[in-house]
């Protein structure tokens, strides 16, 4: 019998309505469990562990990522797979972060949650949770190995790579998308795994890295953006890297202020990463004149990384004792399938 550890961090799935304010707030895990008696009927040895104080995922911090990784590492040998119940709001950040923290995985870590609380009649939480558990328990009959050996997100019949997806809807059950990488599996009558898309590590053992930098900033371009207000972000004493969400294939206005901020930041040792605001496609420096400056001064193209993966990858890389050149090299290399090679 397969053994799965269910880790409850919080999120809508386990929330209940505050009778006074009508707001949804996190509740303890017994509440989720009581509403899914089917869990006892799965032919799986299921154990659960809960954050002492379940949270709305908007409250997630790097400290929570560390706790989550620690729970998985401490239980890694004892279980065949892990299911993490997490709010959908920041799920793509946490799944990206975990994919960088825990490299060399041979077992699945499946994130799921729901748009409606488990106590509501039309909840999507039941199907999401039960299928996520089945995916975490799935193994190849010939080799005995887990089918999924990476961090993934399961939501509304689709399994996505954890560092490739984003939350795209606040109210549809289909809340996630992975525009730059195809789904890893589709759940219909059967769960169909797309085997050639599944990540396989080249590492021989699990490695864990739990330190993060919190000196990474993000700027999203918009017409009329007052660049002078951002000057403290382009200061090497405040940040190690700035991610710029640019237009289309990585374009920005030819602002003398922006160019001066970027040039001096990079020459002082800062790193600038260019991510597109588009949900699909990738950055191509030099495709238009409006991105030629970036190439000239050494801004790094994030290729087809999502913003979530770009930010967590930089937080992760700068959390290690790497030189700037080493960070530059790793940021442009796919470490765990997060970007096109
Ligand atoms: N606000 C909730 C959270 O992210 C939404 C959800 O669970 O889907 O925790």
State the sign of the Cα–Cα–Cα–Cα dihedral 288, 294, 298, 304. negative
Please state the atom number of ligand 1 nearest to the C-alpha of residue 59. 9
Q: Which pLDDT score, from 0 to 100, does residue 60 have?
A: 98
Domain 216-331 matching CATH 3.40.50.40: the answer reads yes
List, in order, residues 6 or more apart from 220 with CB less than 8 Å away. 245, 277
CA atoms within 13 A on the CB side of 161: 25
Residue with tokens 């328990």: 137
Residue 176 pairs in a beta bridge with: 167
Q: Is the CB of 337 under 6 A from ligand 1?
A: no
Give the whole-angstrom CA distance, residue 258 versus residue 224. Answer: 12
Q: Whose CA is nearest to atom 8 of ligand 1?
A: 88
Q: Is the CB of 124 under 6 A from ligand 1?
A: no
Phi and psi at residue 328, in whole multiples of 5°?
A: -60, -40
- Please say if 12 is a catalytic residue: yes
Residue 39, helix vs strand vs coil: helix
Q: Are strands 176-177 and 151-155 parallel, antiparallel or unpaired?
A: unpaired
| Number of Cβ atoms within 10 Å of the Cβ of 333 | 10
Rounded to the nearest 10°, the torsion over CA 295, 318, 337, 150 is -170
Residue with tokens 């080249």: 202
- Measured in Å, residue 98 CA sits from the centre of ligand 1 at 18
Residue 47 pairs in a beta bridge with: 5
Residue from 57, 92, 94 to probe ligand 1 pocket by mutation (most atoms less than 8 Å from CB): 57
Residue with tokens 């825990």: 102
Q: Is the CB of 117 under 6 A from ligand 1?
A: no
Q: Which pLDDT score, from 0 to 100, does residue 102 have?
A: 98
Q: Is the CB of 11 under 6 A from ligand 1?
A: yes
Give the whole-angstrom CA distance, residue 43 versus residue 58. Answer: 34
Q: Is the CB of 125 under 6 A from ligand 1?
A: no
pTM for the structure as a whole? 0.97
Q: Which of 9, 12, 123, 239 is catalytic?
A: 12
Q: Which pLDDT score, from 0 to 100, does residue 40 have?
A: 86
Q: Where are the domains of the chain?
A: 3-208, 216-331
Residue from 8, 88, 176 to probe ligand 1 pocket by mutation (most atoms less than 8 Å from CB): 88
Closest CA to 306 of 163, 168, 199: 163
Contact 158, 176 (CB under 8 A): yes
SS3 sequence of 140-169: CCCCCCECCCCEEEEECCEEEECCCCEECC
Give the whole-angstrom CA distance, residue 131 versus residue 191. Answer: 9
| Number of Cβ atoms within 10 Å of the Cβ of 60 | 22
Ordered per-residue pLDDT tens for the chain, 341 residues: 999 999 999 999 999 988 899 999 888 888 888 889 898 899 999 999 999 999 999 999 999 999 999 999 999 999 999 999 999 999 999 999 999 999 999 999 999 999 999 989 999 999 999 999 999 999 999 999 999 999 999 999 999 999 999 999 999 999 999 999 999 999 999 999 999 999 999 999 999 999 999 999 999 999 999 999 999 999 999 999 999 999 999 999 999 999 999 999 999 999 999 999 999 999 999 999 999 999 999 999 999 999 999 999 999 999 998 999 999 999 999 999 999 98
Q: Is the CB of 9 under 6 A from ligand 1?
A: no
Q: What CATH number does domain 3-208 carry, 3.40.50.1170, 3.40.50.300, 2.102.10.10, 3.30.379.10?
A: 3.40.50.1170
């Amino acid at each position: 019998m397969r053994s799965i550890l269910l880790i409850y961090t919080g999120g809508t799935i386990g929330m209940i309505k505050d009778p006074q304010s009508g707001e949804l707030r996190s509740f303890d895990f017994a509440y989720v469990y009581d509403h899914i008696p089917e869990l006892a009927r799965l032919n799986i040895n299921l154990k659960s562990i809960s954050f002492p104080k379940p949270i709305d995922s908007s409250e997630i911090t790097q400290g929570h990522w560390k706790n989550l990784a620690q729970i998985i590492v401490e239980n890694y040998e004892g279980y065949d797979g892990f299911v993490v119940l997490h709010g959908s709001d920041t799920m793509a950040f946490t799944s990206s972060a975990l994919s960088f923290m825990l490299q060399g995985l041979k077992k699945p870590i499946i994130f799921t949650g729901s748009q409606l609380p488990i106590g509501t009649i039309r909840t999507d939480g039941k199907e999401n949770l039960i299928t996520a558990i089945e995916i975490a328990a799935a193994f190849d009959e010939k080799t005995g190995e887990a089918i999924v050996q990476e961090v993934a997100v399961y939501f509304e019949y689709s399994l996505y790579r954890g560092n490739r997806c984003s939350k795209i809807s606040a109210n549809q059950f289909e809340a996630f998308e992975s525009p730059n990488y195809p789904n890893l599996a589709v759940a219909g009558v059967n769960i169909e795994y797309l085997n050639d898309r599944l990540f396989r590590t080249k590492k021989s053992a699990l490695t864990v890295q739990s330190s993060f930098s919190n000196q990474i900033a993000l700027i999203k371009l918009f017409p009329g953006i007052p660049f002078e207000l951002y000057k403290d972000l382009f200061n090497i004493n405040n940040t190690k890297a700035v991610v710029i969400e640019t237009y289309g294939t990585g374009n920005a206005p030819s602002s003398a202020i922006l160019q001066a901020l970027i040039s001096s930041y990079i020459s002082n040792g800062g790193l600038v990463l260019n991510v597109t605001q588009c949900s699909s496609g990738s950055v191509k420096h030099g495709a238009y004149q409006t991105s030629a400056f970036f190439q000239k001064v050494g801004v790094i193209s994030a290729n087809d990384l999502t913003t979530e993966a770009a930010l967590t990858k930089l937080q992760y890389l700068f959390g290690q004792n790497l030189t700037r050149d080493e960070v530059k090299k790793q940021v442009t290399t796919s470490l765990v399938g997060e970007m096109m090679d």
